[in-house]
Amino acid sequence: MNALLPIGSLLLSVSLLLMGHGLMGTLLPLRGLLEGYSSGELGVLGAVFFLGFGIGTVVGPRAINRVGHIRTFAAMAALICICVMLQSLATGPIVWWVSRALTGMCLSILFIVIESWLNANSNNDNRGMIFSVYSVITLAVVTVGQFLTTLSDIAGFTLFAVATMLFAASAVPVSMTRTSAPVPTGSSKLRLGYLFSLSPVAVVGSLAIGWANGAFWTLGPVFAQRETGDVTMVAAFMGATVISGAVGQLPLGWLSDRCDRRLIIVGAALGAAIAAIGHVFAAYYLPTGIIACAIAFGFFALPLYSLCAAHLNDQVEADEYVEASSGLLLLYASGAVVGPLLASYLMNHYGPQALFLFTGAVHSILVAFAIVRMSLRKSAQSVDKMTFSDTLISTGTVANLDPATKSPTG
């Protein structure tokens, strides 16, 4: 508890920020449907968000080096407020695409600020506890934000105003904190070819997961809305996925620490593919069953990125954790640009169920690739694994793009 007191204001800022993010992530696709957006236009909306997110991972450290953590946080929160207000006033696709790309960039930079700050205020003894609390807060407030869409008519201005207030309020605790912000120095390198040579499964997996998850986060609310016609069910559908994904981290991570991680990646990807196909059957025969499918999909699909990061981290040296984290994140963001575009095209031609036909196919391809790689290269028995919980801290976030970040090994 004493370790959390100095970062209490930062955690409060995180809560407000991600509650607003959860609200907008569900609100925009639903409002877009009311405005007459096609699945393709909504797919572009998701793609440009992740494009902006990827750009943010590159420009964020430079911004922090230039003006510091607190000013960067305040500036990015202000820009997001402008974007949200702009989206409420002008609902045309071009305006939404540009503002959503800017939002993605700002959020990426904000994550860098937050997570590097957490790392700088933790040590080997308390880092696991601090980041566990951070992860729980993240998942909880995003879920709360998604349910905020049920408080008012999505066709009105109120929900945009609520999101704007949450984003604006998130800058207050950080700006007023007496805790010293970290001082970033140096830079990190990036060699994707080198990372692929160390772990083809992790590299290809991160790209594939970006395809599948980017499509789901962008078009999942559209699928649920078209299948149920109920905003409350949409919030329940997305919330169930997030919560089950958090639960899935624990058993899958525990298993991956005790055997070849690639086996767990194969099993999780296969489970995600089966759950995705379950969505298709539920949509035709038992619409209320999509919540159960969402739970299964979240449990298997959402931990996959962390499993890939853990597998790559087993292969790199301690001074390469930053490179591994930034490389996988950029691959994920790249895949998440393409995924919504492809999935939206399929949904336009074959209906909302095509979203999960797409994600199921992507996860199945990952299963096949991982099995082939396992047959070609056996797991090295001498590898000294980093535990999964430590991997979540050192490579599971964008924080390691910030040169101020320290790895758990010091």
CA-based nearest residue to 252, from 228, 233, 271: 271
Q: Running along the chain, 410 residues long, what does each successive block of 10 average in pLDDT?
A: 68 91 92 90 90 85 83 94 95 94 92 76 61 73 88 93 96 84 60 84 92 91 86 88 86 82 93 95 83 94 85 71 69 89 91 93 96 78 56 49 38
Q: Evaluate whether residue 409 is within a structural domain.
A: no
- pLDDT of 40 reads 87
Query: Do 247 and 156 fall into the same domain?
Result: no
Domain containing residue 60: 1-178
- pLDDT of 370 reads 93
Instruction: Give the domain-ending residue among 178, 200, 225.
Output: 178
Query: Do 142 and 203 fall into the same domain?
Result: no
Query: Do 348 and 206 fall into the same domain?
Result: yes
Query: Do 67 and 138 fall into the same domain?
Result: yes
Phi, then psi, of 375 in degrees rounded to 5: -75, -25
Q: Evaluate whether residue 312 is within a structural domain.
A: yes
Instruction: Give the domain-ending residue among 178, 205, 229.
Output: 178
Q: Evaluate whether residue 389 is within a structural domain.
A: yes
Query: Do 154 and 8 fall into the same domain?
Result: yes
Q: Give this prediction's pTM.
A: 0.77
Cβ density class 68-105: b for 16+ within 10 Å, e for less: ebbebbbbbbebbbebbbbbbeeeebeebbebbbbbbb
Q: Evaluate whether residue 184 is within a structural domain.
A: no
Question: For 326-354, what is each residue's pLDDT tens digit?
Answer: 677 788 888 988 999 999 999 988 888 99
Query: Do 120 and 201 fall into the same domain?
Result: no
Query: Do 163 and 210 fall into the same domain?
Result: no
Question: For 211-224, what is each residue's pLDDT tens digit?
Answer: 999 999 889 998 98
Query: Do 264 and 174 fall into the same domain?
Result: no
How many structural domains are present in the chain? Answer: 2
Instruction: Give the domain-ending residue among 178, 200, 219.
Output: 178
Q: Evaluate whether residue 50 is within a structural domain.
A: yes
Q: Evaluate whether residue 185 is within a structural domain.
A: no
CA-based nearest residue to 398, from 204, 217, 138: 138
Structural contact between residues 313 and 195, judged by C-beta atoms closer than 8 angstroms:
no
Residues ≥6 apart with Cβ < 8 Å to 89: none
- pLDDT of 183 reads 67
Query: Do 174 and 216 fall into the same domain?
Result: no
Alpha carbon of 78 to those of 171, 253, 362, 400: distances in Å? 8, 37, 37, 24
Q: Evaluate whether residue 228 is within a structural domain.
A: yes
Measured CA to CA, the distance from residue 42 to residue 36 in angstroms comes to: 10
Structural contact between residues 53 and 254, judged by C-beta atoms closer than 8 angstroms:
no
Query: Do 170 and 288 fall into the same domain?
Result: no
Query: Do 306 and 251 fall into the same domain?
Result: yes
Query: Do 153 and 39 fall into the same domain?
Result: yes
Query: What is the number of other CB atoms lying within 10 angstroms of the CB of residue 23?
Result: 27
Domain with residue 76: its CATH number is 1.20.1250.20
Q: Evaluate whether residue 36 is within a structural domain.
A: yes
